Amino acid sequence: MATTLFYILALVAVISTLLCITRRNPVHAVIFLVHTLFALALIFYLLGAPLVAVWEVIIYAGAIMVLFMFIIMMLELAPTGAGEGIGGHHWLSVLLLSLAILGCSVGILTLDPGHSANLPDFYATPAQFGYALFHHYPLAVELVSFQLLFAAVGAFYVGRSTPTREGAP
């Protein structure tokens, strides 16, 4: 059952990502990316990470994608004009490069004898997760909090309403 679910969700993730990167309208791209994130969150749950799955939905789909949507609507980027297409002249070279990398990586993956090892049944309760996080990585948690603070200060500095020019007070 879980195996079938995994393959369905993987298909959903790949198809919605494909639709996401080919949309002309960035709002539609963000909506398809949210579909990808939901599918990935369910895959995380199947892989035994319920807390990461929930945070994927809350933080990624709930906060970050809403931030994207907010900026797109604030800058009135949708719908883009005719001159701002999806950049057709690069797609062929990008497709060839991606297929080459995909082929080489699949080759390496099949050479590796460990690739067919089945994932064991694993489930980390939020209590185990929280204990591991705060018991083994307390310094990293503090560093992440500093990182978020610096990001907030940096975003405030870059996005302030009157950019100062050179020589201006």
* Residue among 82, 127, 159, 166 that touches another protein (CB under 8 A): 159
Using CB under 8 A as the binding rule, the residues of this chain from 53 to 72 that contact another protein are 55-56, 59-60, 63-64, 67-68, 71-72
The closest alpha carbon to 42, from 2, 81, 70, belongs to: 2
- Residue numbers 112-141 binding another protein by CB under 8 A: 112, 114-122, 124, 128-129, 132-133, 136-137, 140
Distance CA 39, CA 34 (A): 9
Site map (CB under 8 A) of another protein, residues 78-117, x = contact: --x---xxxx--xx--xx-xx--xx--xx--xx-x-xxxx
Q: Which residues fall within 8 angstroms of residue 134, CB to CB, at 6 or more apart?
A: 141
Size of the residue set binding another protein (CB under 8 A): 86
Least distance to another protein, CB of residue 169, Å: 20
List the one residue out of 20, 22, 69 whose CA is nearest residue 40.
20
Q: How far apart are CA 100 and CA 83, in angstroms?
A: 30
Q: Does 8 bind another protein (CB under 8 A)?
A: no
Q: What is the C-alpha separation between 154 and 158, in angstroms, rounded?
A: 6
Residue 164 interacts with another protein (CB under 8 A)?
no
Number of Cβ within 10 Å of residue 6's Cβ equals 15
Q: How far is the CB of 133 from another protein (least distance, A)?
A: 5
